[in-house]
Structure 1
Amino acid sequence: MKQRQLLPLFLFTLLLAMVGCSDNDSNTEVTQSGHLVNTKVNLPEEFKQAKLYDTKISAFEINSRRTTSYDVELQENNLFIAHLKSGLYNLSFEAKAKLDGKERILKGYLENTTINKDTSIEFNVLPLPTERDFVIEEIFYTGSLYPNSKRGYLGDQYFKITNNSDETLYADGLTIAESGFATNMYQDITPNRMTEEFAVQALYAVPGSGKDHPVLPGESIIICDKAINHKEVNPNSFDFSNADFEWFDESSNPKIQDTDNPEVPNLDNIYSYTLTIWILNMQGNRAYAILRMGKDKETFLAENQKEYSFIYDTGDSQINIKRKAYFVPNEWIIDAVNVSTQDEHEWIVTDSSLDASYTYCGNDSNDPNRSGKSVRRKVAYQEADGRKVLQDTNNSKEDFIPTATPSVAE
């Protein structure tokens, strides 16, 4: 965390007089004692000229499980003074601002922050989405390694999908899509439909009639490749015998067969490019999305396959390549994440309104430390009831922790 020189004492005293206090609940301790903590609020570009109001800070001390909460007034350069005793905190900042005549709520969150007499802190605040829904919290695509070996293990890839709203949502029909284009292989596509559609090479949907699979606010579902206890084969892997869903493929190759756990529901296979078993690319060169299908399977397959072309340069000549792919309208998409490698990344394969950048595992495509890692979405802030709200700015570079420890291993 960046350390900043504390403001002169007379300014601390002045700001102290501007801080008001209010109780939140019976577990809230409101106090003016403790350290004067120099605090800065960093605003996103579009809000830098906006005036913030209804600004407040909430501090949950982890060891004592007490919450301190009070209103604050921002001074020049978006500085204010927090009043906190020594301890280990989860800190939340909240404010309101108007953008284009509409009121927006901005929040920032700092987790496991140590406060002492020399501490200064910074909140990077973001506007709340006007609508919240499911988000992709985590993708584990690299696969684990066998102990004391560089040999990779297949079958333990998974998605963690989280209800990021404040109401119960139903996972029925929620569909995982894998991009038809690779993020490490740029193609000058004609026609380029990205502003309107997303090319896919795999679509798998959660079964259900509409309200069979409720997901409470802040809760998640695990969708995995093979819903077995992988630890029995590879101690470095995970136990998915109680996963929420698995994807299962009927392979046309008798030598390549999938494993089915009858106790865990299978996703509905809407479309897959492979006639054997779908696995996520372990290098990480695709984009993934969750969406709600706007058509039934048969209608979609009949109407949404479209032709495109691109120029392939051999070095000696240029060849016009024609292909076909299935495309889903961008308006169906709830959330999208581009995954790539830093050394081979060439383009984003979604419209920038869905995802403006990419996340990754490892320093490069040959990094041996990338195996066993995932990409995980950051926490934006914490609600008063303890529910964590995940960061969602439609920019995977900002929203995700790259090369992260898988959540199911914690």
Structure 2
Amino acid sequence: MKNQLFIISLLMTIVFVACRKSDIKTVQSINLSVQVSYNTTDSLMGLSRANAAVKITNLLSGQENTTTTNNEGIAIFADIAPGNYTVTAAKNYTAEEFFTTTNITVPSNVAYNASETMVFNSSAHIRLVMQGGKIGNLVIKQYAYAGSNVSTGAAFRDQFVEIYNNSNETIYLDSLYFGNTWQSVTKITSGGVPLDWTTSTGMPTNIGDVNKDYVYAKYLFMIPGTGKQHPLASGKSVIIAATAINHTQDYVMNDGLVQGITDPTKTVDLSKADFETNLVEYNRAHYNGSGTFTPYKWDIDNPTIPNVDVIHIRSGNDWVLDATGREDFFIFKLSKSIKANEWPIYAVPGSPTSFCAQVKVADIIDAVEILTPLESNRVPKRLPIALDATGTFALGGQYSSQSIVRKTIKTIEGRRILQDTNNSANDFETKTKSDASKTESSFEK
């Protein structure tokens, strides 16, 4: 009897192992080759396709693989798992390298990037066309979108952005626009795709590619001024706060109640910000409810800090950034400002009562795209590759008190030159605690 039980047990083990081996064989690894090139105009300048950095990221597992292209611009990835991948390519030239190659003088580094998200179920060969992005003199230095602890800190109320003059000349911030886009929040792993703005009611058909040549702002603001009212010196920055108060102390809200702060170390003092967003008067003017308008209790106006002009908001009581990471931020200037009531506004595809402001990609000076820390939670790309090839995120995630801060590439006579390759994954790093002081401590961690 014991021998029979042993034989049966042995047979079951063999069958189990055989089944496991059979299961393993059904998941075959694949190979991927990536052909990297430039657009026709840039190719004619003789730019090299060799040594471009190519990275693939599996959106389910988070596994990353990186290599460089050969002289023909080809990168090979062997024995990878099938799946949904983001594929990126990047090549950067210093101003000196670019001149040596093209005989064209440029004021700063030149960055080329490409990015695609694709499903690979079998071995494949794909092509990526790298695009050169605009390198602006104004850059986003720090983006504190993550907020702080919801019970002991300030939640979303202490969010802010820091804009830095990366040039060697004074820049005037008068009529500088900034905002955030609206995009699909359906996960890529659940079939999420970018919104198709050609389906928006009333969208013109003679203004170029409405999906590639424009972004659509859920929030759009402008720094007011006469033209030379707000100078920003070389190597200096400004803070734009959602609510410009000292979040490390208790304060009285618009409803007369006191907002307490349990742990001041979790949050920041924004009472010395240079500008703040306040939506109360905008929302009052656009209120169509049946009762009396009531200001949002947390959208407190600091009378000592200048308010920016509210051009458009899709919805909401306050400038609230998505702390989970489905976010972005961009800045731009126009040769001539547009009145708020004359700005092109279009309905969100599939949502005829929800509207966003249309902004030309070509006007945007700098932008950063924010991702969710977990790859499987990623949503469709928000910004064109020319603005940001690959987004980034604060490592601690939402309500972590962290921010992202732009890296320094060099210092000239005490002035920091911040890295700007239009690839936020390379240009930014996580700052353990957001810092609105604008001092040396506010730079890299």
Are 1:96 and 2:96 matched, yes or no? yes
Give the TM-score normalised by the residue count of structure 2.
Answer: 0.57
Are 1:200 and 2:213 matched, yes or no? no
Give the structure 1 partner of residue 33 of structure 2.
none
Q: CA deviation at 1:284?
A: 2.1
Amino acid at match of 2:324: Q
Q: CA deviation at 1:361?
A: 1.9
Are 1:302 and 2:342 matched, yes or no? yes
Give the structure 2 partner of residue 336 of structure 1.
367
Q: Answer whether contact 1:353 1:394 (CA < 8 A) is retained.
A: yes
Q: Answer whether contact 1:348 1:356 (CA < 8 A) is retained.
A: no
Which of 260, 272, 275 is the matching residue for 1:242? Answer: 272
Cα separation, 1, equivalents of 2:134 and 2:369:
22
Helix, strand or coil for the counterpart of 1:331?
helix
Cα separation, 2, equivalents of 1:182 and 1:209:
37
Which of 411, 420, 426 is the matching residue for 1:392? Answer: 420
Give the structure 1 partner of residue 84 of structure 2.
none
Q: Answer whether contact 2:213 2:360 (CA < 8 A) is retained.
A: yes
Helix, strand or coil for the counterpart of 1:139?
strand
Which of 386, 409, 424 is the matching residue for 1:380? Answer: 409
Helix, strand or coil for the counterpart of 2:248?
helix
Give the structure 2 partner of residue 139 of structure 1.
143
Q: Answer whether contact 2:220 2:312 (CA < 8 A) is retained.
A: yes
Deviation digits for residues 280-303 of structure 1 (CA, Å, limit 9, x no counterpart): 1221212210111455443x6435
Q: Answer whether contact 1:359 1:402 (CA < 8 A) is retained.
A: no
Amino acid at match of 1:156: D
Deviation digits for residues 159-186 of structure 1 (CA, Å, limit 9, x no counterpart): 0000011100011111111102156553
Give the structure 1 partner of residue 8 of structure 2.
none
Cα separation, 2, equivalents of 1:322 and 1:225:
26
Counterparts in 2 of 1:291 and 1:105: CA distance versus 1, 3 Å: closer
Cα separation, 2, equivalents of 1:271 and 1:95:
38
Give the structure 2 partner of residue 117 of structure 1.
none
1:60-79 mapped onto 2 (5 Å cutoff) = none
Counterparts in 2 of 1:394 and 1:296: CA distance versus 1, 3 Å: same
Counterparts in 2 of 1:387 and 1:186: CA distance versus 1, 3 Å: same
Q: Answer whether contact 2:146 2:324 (CA < 8 A) is retained.
A: yes
Q: CA deviation at 1:143?
A: 1.2
Deviation digits for residues 71-119 of structure 1 (CA, Å, limit 9, x no counterpart): xxxxxxxxxxxxxxxxxxxxxxx88321323256888xxxxxxxxxxxx
1:137-176 mapped onto 2 (5 Å cutoff) = 137-145=141-149, 153-176=155-178
Higher helix share: 2
Which ranges in structure 1 are unaligned for 5 or more consecutive residues? 1-44, 51-93, 108-127, 311-319
Amino acid at match of 1:376: V
Deviation digits for residues 192-214 of structure 1 (CA, Å, limit 9, x no counterpart): 62421111111111111111111
Q: Answer whether contact 1:169 1:214 (CA < 8 A) is retained.
A: yes
Q: Answer whether contact 1:189 1:309 (CA < 8 A) is retained.
A: yes
Q: Which has the higher contact order (CA 8 A, sep 6+)?
A: 2
Q: Answer whether contact 2:133 2:386 (CA < 8 A) is retained.
A: no
Which ranges in structure 2 are unaligned for 5 or more consecutive residues? 1-37, 39-46, 52-93, 110-131, 199-208, 251-260, 285-292
Cα separation, 1, equivalents of 2:313 and 2:328:
15
Cα separation, 2, equivalents of 1:130 and 1:303:
24
Q: CA deviation at 1:347?
A: 2.5
Q: Over the residues paired in the alignment, what is the CA RMSD in angstroms?
A: 3.2
Give the TM-score normalised by the residue count of structure 1.
Answer: 0.62
Percentage of pairs with the same residue: 28
Counterparts in 2 of 1:196 and 1:267: CA distance versus 1, 3 Å: same
Cα separation, 2, equivalents of 1:265 and 1:374:
24
Q: CA deviation at 1:307?
A: 4.8
Q: Answer whether contact 2:136 2:365 (CA < 8 A) is retained.
A: no
Are 1:326 and 2:357 matched, yes or no? yes
